[in-house]
Structure 1
């Protein structure tokens, strides 16, 4: 049998088994893993996602407009505040497992850019364990950007990071999904740690059976939403509730310049089409499979509607399932799966509505940025969705969680529901149809919504409150 045909049959069999929760024989599962998630992945070579070399809708002419240019403003002149004098010379180490294109990565970069304005000396430590000991090859998108901006960035293996900590001993650590060894080394060196909880469960899942012990290494927590704070305290009842504070993320105004809507839409080939935009990593958490199913139903009654899902490719197998679902849909020409885009301001300008049907979130940066660009949003009831959108319908809609209950998400429950009928589908479809029906009203409200959102998600207030928590950790024994 031709090897290409054989591989094609194997892939289809593996996808069918995964969708139907059918457990393959051990030897077949092993072969499947090598076939799908190998490095380099054979499926990655088949381009699961499309690039940005062509528009969403073909142009009338052969010429393809160039990517719109963005003009980044100078960082805003933040007025001196009381915090600045007390933070002068304090050395803050910000730790993160990645500095590429995810929401956590974006917020780490946000703090790295903002804390120096408040008087902190900042170093960012990136520990990309997926690369093993050879971290010299790491070239994450935000890692490169921070280095170009002259931010001190250390990319190192655990042993190298330990040596750096011993030699430099920062005054405080702002931790974002930290490995245990950083917490242990910080305690041994007497360095206070403030961990930011970007979501429950955390990216590597929260082990509640040992969280009470792990949290003794941490001075205090910052939760990005009230829901995340409640979820954490419910899971770790031993942690003092006055040691965990909620600070919603701020809008990164210095790195999200506006873009002319007409130019952005022309680049993507859009005329009268209605564009739903969803930005997020291609992973189970973001639930693109459920979103594509819902959009397919919406699109049947909206011939001009398109859906664009763009983000970093994190899970090849899951994304292959999403692509297969798209390929079998009669709406496949209006469902676009693409890689992450370095300047999302262009996509926000071109879109008509932002939609995110995640199984769980902490505080979605993408939806906050969409609101700050003037877009109505449709969000599943996770993380900070209600805090961002409100309940009066003036900013969009919060629909039910695809898991049914927003308070108790987990990677396991998301895995069980990823291909099953989801309880929020009917509500999600209705919300998307409503935004299409009210297109003119949302277009008229666009500027007001952008101004209101940028005011509510103040970058200065967010950075200042993080600085205050870090200083308090330094000053306390």
Structure 2
């Protein structure tokens, strides 16, 4: 006999998916009642991280994570010579140093700023998200193994460390606010990196941000869209202190894996594989992507969708997405997996990369896909237009929330489980990618060459270095530091 609490939970999850048909006042009232039946720690599953299990049952499958690149990593290009004599001490601050795009940018700066006359250390406040299983801290361990200085700090020991190490400037990447408070108290200038705008997508956050920003010396926006979004919400912040520095892609780190072996490890032969490297959360809109793929799969019986990412950010959202996928006719072709330690092997196996995000700053996952030679389908978010190059490298689809500049949490929440206005366009783009698979397969080397050439990491590195050095030495911000733009 079915447990009554299990039945109540299933009803609550169903009611969440249908809430958009209820008037907003009743929806808010009912939501409070439903939440007690939908605790994230009760009855929710997590995506599998066992990559020895193929997507399609074949006799000859293998361990995808064990596949190594086909060629040795080329040497890193030499850094530009630094003419200034003074070496700048830069603490690169993050919150949870595990996996994620913002953390990868922090790691990139830690590895490469020393070539621009900086002494760096990565400081972070945790290795696991709340409720996350396992050890976490994957990026923290990788940096330590490379010899990059790292330091785990909390509110109780950060002040002593800061007084001892005496940084000239802090480069912040979603760092904790208590660290900003401490930096302001000790007089250490703070440069915020705006990876996206999720903190400011609700009007109640605007006034606190304006007060918070009074302690920030400069801000680096990873795309012009993010810069415009920030200044729209915080018009009192000096616009010449918000500098655009697009993320780059380091081709020496995007090493190619043998495509045939990668597809064989997943049990694939002639199937068309869409890959989405993304966390299961509302920002990435996995529910919307799975819904659209259900329509794509109906017209293309060989199409598969593989989503790989952590689910701990929002286990209920993952559970809703899993339940949706299980009800679709193409359920056996929708693969919801956990984090993969070898994403380059997934990209090698992919025929196309897809994100249906509500917002991004400048997606590193799509940049790595392009650098691996994989065409992309992206919604209109930060950096998407620049990456796609007018259709040369894939398809741009309308933002699922409408106008990208006006995205906010109320609109996103309302669209969480309801039909989204970009669905037909997304289905058409993914279907076109399948129909033109031969042409896109022939373009893989061109896509890789263009991505590595156009989005040179040296320009991104020089942009960050120029802003950080100017702030540390109390000099004017450069108008165009490296590849950056301040207008």
Instruction: Report the TM-score, using the length of structure 2 for normalisation.
Output: 0.89
Q: How does 1:332-371 map to 2 (within 5 A)?
A: 332-371=331-370
- Look up the SS of the partner of 2:406 in the other structure: coil
Q: Which residue of 2 aligns with 1:172?
A: 169
| Structure 2 Cα separation of the partners of residues 162 and 79 of structure 1 | 36
Q: How does 1:352-431 map to 2 (within 5 A)?
A: 352-391=351-390, 393-431=391-429
Backbone CA RMSD of aligned residues: 2.4
Contact in 1 for aligned 2:98/2:128 (Cα 8 Å):
no
- Look up the SS of the partner of 1:230 in the other structure: helix
> Alpha-carbon deviation of 1:65?
5.5
Shift of the 420–260 alpha-carbon distance from structure 1 to 2, 3 Å rule, reads same
1:30 corresponds to 2:36: yes
Deviation string 1:337-392 (CA, Å, 9 cap, x unpaired) is 0001112111111101111000111100001111111111111101111111122x
| Structure 2 Cα separation of the partners of residues 378 and 364 of structure 1 | 12
- Look up the SS of the partner of 1:124 in the other structure: strand
> Alpha-carbon deviation of 1:11?
2.7
Shift of the 203–167 alpha-carbon distance from structure 1 to 2, 3 Å rule, reads farther
Shift of the 259–144 alpha-carbon distance from structure 1 to 2, 3 Å rule, reads same
Q: How does 1:119-198 map to 2 (within 5 A)?
A: 119-128=117-126, 139-198=136-195
- Look up the SS of the partner of 1:218 in the other structure: coil
The match for 1:286 among 265, 281, 284 is: 284
| Structure 2 Cα separation of the partners of residues 129 and 441 of structure 1 | 43
Contact in 2 for aligned 1:87/1:471 (Cα 8 Å):
no
Deviation string 1:124-143 (CA, Å, 9 cap, x unpaired) is 111139779xxxx9631101
Contact in 2 for aligned 1:72/1:255 (Cα 8 Å):
no
Contact in 2 for aligned 1:402/1:422 (Cα 8 Å):
yes
Shift of the 31–213 alpha-carbon distance from structure 1 to 2, 3 Å rule, reads same
> Alpha-carbon deviation of 1:193?
1.0
| Structure 1 Cα separation of the partners of residues 8 and 284 of structure 2 | 26
Contact in 2 for aligned 1:73/1:254 (Cα 8 Å):
no
Shift of the 6–220 alpha-carbon distance from structure 1 to 2, 3 Å rule, reads same
Q: Which residue of 2 aligns with 1:201?
A: 198
1:53 corresponds to 2:52: yes
> Alpha-carbon deviation of 1:162?
2.5
Deviation string 1:411-432 (CA, Å, 9 cap, x unpaired) is 3321211101101001111111
1:459 corresponds to 2:465: no
| Structure 2 Cα separation of the partners of residues 149 and 56 of structure 1 | 33
The match for 1:215 among 205, 213, 225 is: 213
Shift of the 319–74 alpha-carbon distance from structure 1 to 2, 3 Å rule, reads same
Deviation string 1:234-268 (CA, Å, 9 cap, x unpaired) is 11111111111111111133432111111111111
Contact in 1 for aligned 2:95/2:125 (Cα 8 Å):
yes
Q: Which residue of 2 aligns with 1:303?
A: 301
Moved over 4 A (4+): 22-28, 71-75, 129-132, 203-206
Contact in 1 for aligned 2:225/2:383 (Cα 8 Å):
yes
> Alpha-carbon deviation of 1:167?
2.4
Deviation string 1:144-184 (CA, Å, 9 cap, x unpaired) is 11111121111122222232222222011001123322222
| Structure 2 Cα separation of the partners of residues 31 and 289 of structure 1 | 21
Deviation string 1:244-302 (CA, Å, 9 cap, x unpaired) is 11111111334321111111111111110000111111111100111111111011111
Q: How does 1:244-263 map to 2 (within 5 A)?
A: 244-263=242-261
Deviation string 1:424-467 (CA, Å, 9 cap, x unpaired) is 00111111111111111111111011011011111122112111
Unaligned ranges ≥5, structure 1: none
| Structure 2 Cα separation of the partners of residues 382 and 401 of structure 1 | 7
Shift of the 259–432 alpha-carbon distance from structure 1 to 2, 3 Å rule, reads same
Contact in 1 for aligned 2:225/2:405 (Cα 8 Å):
yes
Contact in 2 for aligned 1:103/1:366 (Cα 8 Å):
yes
Q: Which residue of 1 aligns with 2:484?
A: none
Deviation string 1:71-124 (CA, Å, 9 cap, x unpaired) is 785573433524x34275311101111111111111111111111222311111
- Look up the SS of the partner of 2:56 in the other structure: coil
Instruction: Report the TM-score, using the length of structure 1 for normalisation.
Output: 0.91
Unaligned ranges ≥5, structure 2: 20-26, 476-487
Aligned residue pairs, count: 462
Deviates more, 1:268-277 or 1:177-186: 177-186
- Look up the SS of the partner of 1:286 in the other structure: coil
Contact in 2 for aligned 1:356/1:378 (Cα 8 Å):
yes
| Structure 2 Cα separation of the partners of residues 199 and 129 of structure 1 | 21
Q: Which residue of 2 aligns with 1:9?
A: 7
| Structure 1 Cα separation of the partners of residues 234 and 316 of structure 2 | 33
Q: Which residue of 2 aligns with 1:95?
A: 93
Deviates more, 1:466-475 or 1:157-166: 157-166
Shift of the 25–126 alpha-carbon distance from structure 1 to 2, 3 Å rule, reads closer
- Look up the SS of the partner of 2:403 in the other structure: coil
Deviates more, 1:176-185 or 1:234-243: 176-185
